[in-house]
Amino acid sequence: MGNNWKILAEKLGLKRARIQSIQLEAEGSMTEAVTNMLITWFKYLPANADKVGVLQRALYDSDLWDTANDLLYRNSVHQIEVQRRIEEDNWKKVYQSIASTPALRGWKTLAKSLGICLEDITVIEEENWSIRTKCLKMLDMWRNASGPLATRPVLVKALKACKFMEAAGKIQQIV
């Protein structure tokens, strides 16, 4: 980054006096100067500000294209991971919803409606002792086998086809 950190600091809205103070405090350490500059900038941003967007624009404006592009990539990866975690949490809620309704006892009927073959149903039946575990294993098997086609609307449709309206209603309420 070199001395471009000072240009970046200006693009981020830090005053020249504050930039000079950061430089003096860092005692020649560029890493410390950049870290303190970013901390100072971050402290004064409103909580709801698009911090990544503001920083990325300032990086571009400071001709730090590689760093800006790296930030964009890392932010994209982070957003995908956040979405994946939210989706996984929602699936846990789906599983809990089904497990708390009469659909739990009808897991074999639901399995057939979801396209799970009789052979796999038998394996689940033999390898698991509790109805809850059997149901959850069946749902895992369906999700793994169906991949991106395993969606909540598909599950709701299958539950309705099996007349498990309570479970279908609970799942539809999950955001």
Domain ranges of the chain: 4-63, 85-173
Q: How does pLDDT run across 154-169, given as a tens digit for each residue?
A: 999 999 999 999 999 9
pLDDT at residue 102, as a whole number: 85
Please state, in angstroms and as integers, the Cα–Cα distance from residue 101 to each residue in 31, 44, 125, following that order.
57, 50, 19
Give the residue-averaged pLDDT of 30-35.
92
Look at residue 1 and tell me whether its pLDDT is greater than 80. no
Helices marked H in the chain: 4-11, 16-26, 30-43, 51-61, 65-99, 107-113, 118-127, 131-146, 152-161, 165-173
Amino acid at position 132, single letter: R
Looking at the structure, give the CATH architecture of the domain made up of residues 85-173: Orthogonal Bundle (1.10)
Give the pLDDT confidence of 133-145 residue by residue, as tens digits. 999 999 999 999 9
33-to-10, 27, 28, 94, 149 alpha-carbon distances in Å: 14, 8, 8, 48, 50
pLDDT band, very low/low/confident/very high, at 92 (cuts 50, 70, 90): very high
Q: Report whether pLDDT(103) > 90.
A: no
pLDDT-derived band at 4 (thresholds 50, 70, 90) equals confident
What are the pLDDT digits (tens) for 43-68?
989 989 999 999 999 999 999 999 99
Q: DSSP for 143-157?
A: HHHHGGG--HHHHHH
Q: How confident is the model at residue 99 (pLDDT cuts 50, 70, 90)?
A: confident
Instruction: Using alpha carbons, list the distances in angstroms from residue 36 to 39, 105, 112, 142, 144.
Output: 5, 59, 60, 50, 46
What class is the 4-63 domain? mainly alpha
Separation of alpha carbons 132 and 107, rounded Å = 9
On the question of pLDDT at 2 being above 80, the answer is no
Domains 4-63 and 85-173 share a fold: yes
